[in-house]
Amino acid sequence: MSTIEISKKRYFLIDKIVVDKDRTLSFDIYAKDQERKLILVYKKNTLLKKETAQSLIARDTLYVYEREKLIYEREHKEFMNKKVWSDKMYTVYEDVRKSVTELFKNPESLGHIQAAKENVTTMVSNILHEDFAVSSFLSILAYDYYTHTHSLNVSVYAICLGKHLGMNGRELEDLGTAALLHDIGKSKIDHEIINKDGKLTDDEFETVKKHPEYSWDILNKVGVTNRHILNGVRHHHEKVDGTGYPDRLKGDDIHQYAKIIAICDVFDALTTKRSYKEPVATFNTLLMMKKEMNNHLDSSLINRFILMFRQENDIS
């Protein structure tokens, strides 16, 4: 690592890759001014907004003071680990996305259903890796709403939450598969209704409400017998107060997978962009879910979902 001497103090050249928008660094950053003197250009523990990050990257070189060198090296290592995983997970995500797109074109194909389950196994094996960070996967999710990308996003969120809850590999595979297939029944509903811009009419909403049963029927037709997967798919719109559909289940009668999928379903729907609405920020969405939906969603699971994001520093 290169060093320069300034007023008998030692400053170390740093890798600009750590300067990324929407990050908060735990060390000060210095750069040379026009007189070649080092000046403070970033105060630690300050959010790096896009403009600030761009201005820092535009400088020739950036430095950290020796007292904070170890802090910088630790955060650089953490960032690089996340970047490696993000690149890896992007490849996995794109492969699964293409597979899910084909699945929704031909939902009653046993081969496509089997491919979906194999895709989930791949995601789970990566997520269970000891070096995996949830944020590395969440950062590459698609944020424009389409039925197939929504289903994939919900599956990713569900697997990550399941891991946070301590589920084993088999449980995560079943949960992730149920989440990936939860909306497959929408393939039986008129595309104009599914893709409608704005509020549905009462009749249209009643039609859409049939999709969990359609999903259940499709999976039974192709020979899926796993009751955990089937219950997760059929009951992801049940509400803990008993006002959901299709079976008006209440509280503990709702399968845990269905409760998890319900939370991830709502979260992704609110935080993704649609033609008729802008996405809601992560923090505001979680706050809304906790304060306004605790009669519909499982409050203990909402708390764990929020804790997962907090631990990954992804709340913004």
Residue among 163, 186, 239, 259 flagged as catalytic: 186
The kind and range of the H/E element at 3 are strand 3-6
Burial of 156 (0-12, 13-18, 19+ CB in 10 A): buried
**Which amino acid appears at position 263 of this protein?**
I
Picking from 250, 246, 269, 262, the residue whose alpha carbon sits closest to that of residue 301 is 262
CA distance 205 to 207: 5
- C-beta atoms surrounding 106 within 10 Å: 11
Whether 186 is catalytic is yes
* Residue in 120, 106, 111 with CA at minimum distance from that of residue 157: 120
Residues 128, 24: Cα–Cα separation, whole Å = 27
Cα–Cα distance, 151 to 239 (Å, whole number) = 19
Ranges of H-type helices in the chain? 50-57, 69-105, 110-127, 134-138, 147-164, 169-181, 191-194, 202-208, 211-221, 227-234, 256-271, 282-292, 299-311
At 152, the amino acid letter reads L
Which residues on neighbouring strands pair with residue 48, listed in sequence order?
23
Strand partners, 93: none
Hey, which residues are catalytic here?
186
